[in-house]
A and B are shown apart, each in its own frame.
Chain A
Amino acid sequence: DQQVKQNSPSLSVQEGRISILNCDYTNSMFDYFLWYKKYPAEGPTFLISISSIKDKNEDGRFTVFLNKSAKHLSLHIVPSQPGDSAVYFCAASGNSGYSTLTFGKGTMLLVSP
């Protein structure tokens, strides 16, 4: 069973608009969440994270929102740029020394000029 779900395999957005990528989780023990970006033939690279004590974390054009009651998080990219075209993975971890991440299957974002 998938504990971290990214229900949209792909998303297309125009340059300059907002991209919203969604992620749902089922394990209530998860309390730390990350987003990774992956280009073809490269490994995933860390983008942004959020812990359960927050509901929002912002880094430049990237903002992650966490809704614990709904077990849902989202990544907002504003404004979207063609270089943002990549696969985005949501990942989650438990607390207190948990070293492992559980990944979603990813959403492919295509930003067109």
Chain B
Amino acid sequence: DAGVIQSPRHEVTEMGQEVTLRCKPISGHDYLFWYRQTMMRGLELLIYFNNNVPIDDSGMPEDRFSAKMPNASFSTLKIQPSEPRDSAVYFCASSLDAVGVADQPQHFGDGTRLSIL
């Protein structure tokens, strides 16, 4: 079975450019999560969706960040304009149900390593 698929795997771009990260969750999973990993802050949740609806975006650092889920099989995380401090690994994860309710763990993609020069 295909897991969570993220693209691109690596992205290098110059400051000020728009960056779009893509995610395809596991089929049938109702929850989708975007995380950012940095050395300083570890893995932090940016936003999550339930049935394509954004539920909690309190982790989104600034208005430069936006996320969409137009359908059950696709989500994007966009940064516009990008800044060097946005450099990090961005992970997408999906789960069948809410954590702790149905004992369903989150399944992660392999991440996008983003470098903003």
Contacts and interface: CB of A to CB of B under 8 A. Distances in A.
A45 interface: yes
Chain A CB within 10 A, most for which of B33, B43, B44: B43
B112 to A, nearest CB: 10
A84 B45 CA distance: 26
A105 B105 contact: no
Contacts of A44: 43, 91, 108
Given A43-B108, A97-B101, A103 B48 contact: no
B108 A99 contact: no
B57 to A, nearest CB: 12
A93 B42 contact: no
Interface stretch (B12-20, B66-74, B78-86, B92-100): B92-100
> Which DSSP category, helix, strand, loop or mixed, fits chain A's interface?
loop
B100 A31 contact: yes
B42 A101 contact: no
A43 B93 CA distance: 9
B62 interface: no
Contacts, number: 67
A106 B99 CA distance: 20
Interface string A29-51: 00110101000011111100101
B100 A43 contact: no
Contact of A99 (B42, B99, B103, B107): B99
Nearest to B9: A41
B110 A101 contact: no
B50 A104 contact: no
Given A43-B93, A46-B106, A100 B45 contact: yes
15 contacts: A32-B100, A44-B108, A93-B100, A97-B100, A98-B98, A99-B55, A99-B98, A100-B48, A101-B45, A101-B106, A103-B42, A103-B43, A103-B44, A106-B42, A106-B43
Going nearest first, the 3 A-B pairs with the smallest beta carbon separation are A43-B108, A32-B100, A46-B105
Interface of A: 31-32, 34, 36, 41-46, 49, 51, 89, 93-106
